Amino acid sequence: MKPTSLNTRILIASALGIAAGLWLAGAGQTPLAQNTLYGAKLVGNLFLDLLRLVLIPLVFASIVVGVANLRQHNQMHRVWTITLAFFLFTMGLAILIGFGAAHLFRPGEGMQLEMFADATRNYQARQMPVDEYVAQFLRGLFQNPFKALAQGDILAVVIVALFLGIALVVGGERYRNIRALLSELQELCLMVVGWIMHLAPFGIAALLLQLVATQQTSLLASLGQFIAVVIGSTLFHGVIVLPGILWAMTGMSPLRFFKGAREALITAFATSSSAATLPITLRCTEQHLHVKKDIASFVVPLGATVNMDGTALYEGAAALFVARLAGIELDFAHQAVVFFVAMLGAIGAPGIPSVGMLSMVLVLESVGLPTAAIAILLPIDRILDTVRTAVNVEGDMVTSVIVQKYAAGPQPAA
């Protein structure tokens, strides 16, 4: 008998958690209800603590390795420079679209959840004038790396990882042992993430039980609005923005592009994994979009790790949604932090399902938002992951065509 998939187990656990929460909401303040809520809080907090356990080493190793891997293609300096610049440009554009959609439609507004009350109080306690915040933010970027790692200071860890990754690129083969060691650390962290994800159904059920038992059912309407906003803005980026940029920069029509990219996009939608789609993406890029093999074999695999337009858009919109659920309105400075962390978090996010949840925790923690909000986000993640993965893969193929035109000569005729 084929074992039940993790996504199915999470959906079943989510349904059970919601059902138990509804039962507790109507049970009143009985000893059984209080003890059940206490137990659910213990299990939910344990799950969140396990995620935090692996978050810092995984983010550190992934960003260092992601940047250091550029060294493998140092003979293609112009190619990888244009590739990386375009990746950052489209991801930044995607986050701005996510912000814009979240501000325009404002999902979660007026839904201050009691479950997030502590996070709201802590956030408000840290409020300060903009000039003081900017000064403290800049001071916090550059810290003793051991202190940053030990205290879990997200932004400082990201900066240290970027510097170390760049140093490994400049140092070249002299530091191949350090690069190999950090690659193995990344693999070990992903193994631990796999173990933790086996506990995800229990953690999500416990967190949802608390949420439903203490909140009004109007949360479901806000959640539906959020799903519609994310899918709509992601499709806008994938159907209008990326093909528009491709047409403006290369003259390739959107119709021709989608015809050539169709197999890869359908596979990405079905698997929710840019890594699993990689062989098909390469074939479509080389055979249907007529990108040279040496360009495609660099841009597409790098993009499967570094270029995550759909993921970055989702994380930007989700941060504003969670902030509103917590009764917080993120100011410009905090939205800038979300922008920065969502973009850099995508550099080290492996192209496999569910691991994107860790980068979502990273984004929430960077601005002091409650990480317990993943109880709301994870049950709907599979629905949203299909669309955003297809857009992630589309971005890799669009970049390949553009890089060929501007870094490796004119594109051959079809």
- The runs of H, that is alpha helices, within 272-308 are 274-283, 293-306
pLDDT digits over 330-380, tens only?
Answer: 888 888 888 988 887 666 555 555 556 667 877 887 777 887 777 778 777
What is residue 347's predicted lDDT score, i.e. its pLDDT?
61
Whether pLDDT at 11 is above 60:
yes
Per-residue pLDDT band at 256 (split at 50, 70, 90): very high
pLDDT (average), residues 140-153: 76
Mean pLDDT of the chain: 80
Per-residue pLDDT band at 130 (split at 50, 70, 90): low
Within-domain flag for 412: no
Within-domain flag for 413: no
Pick the residue with more confidence: 75 or 62? Answer: 62
What is residue 414's predicted lDDT score, i.e. its pLDDT?
42
CB under 8 A, 24+ apart: contacts of 215-221: 215/113, 215/114, 215/115, 218/111, 219/111, 219/113, 219/325, 219/376
- Residue-range definition of the domain harbouring residue 279: 6-407
Could you tell me which of 213, 296, 285 has the C-alpha nearest to residue 252? 285
What is residue 118's predicted lDDT score, i.e. its pLDDT?
58
Round to whole Å and give the CA distance between 27 and 231: 37
Per-residue pLDDT band at 218 (split at 50, 70, 90): low
Within-domain flag for 93: yes
Integer angstrom CA distances of residue 413 from 104, 292, 375: 42, 12, 50
pLDDT (average), residues 296-304: 80
Whether pLDDT at 202 is above 70:
yes
Whether pLDDT at 394 is above 80:
yes
What is residue 241's predicted lDDT score, i.e. its pLDDT?
96
Whether pLDDT at 100 is above 60:
yes
CATH number for the domain that contains residue 307: 1.10.3860
Could you tell me which of 129, 156, 196 has the C-alpha nearest to residue 59? 156
pLDDT digits over 20-41, tens only?
Answer: 888 887 777 778 878 888 888 8
Within-domain flag for 1: no
pLDDT (average), residues 170-197: 84
Question: Domain total for the chain?
Answer: 1
Q: For 115-129, 169-183, 210-224, which range has the lowest pLDDT when averaged over its residues? A: 115-129
Please state the pTM of the whole predicted model: 0.72
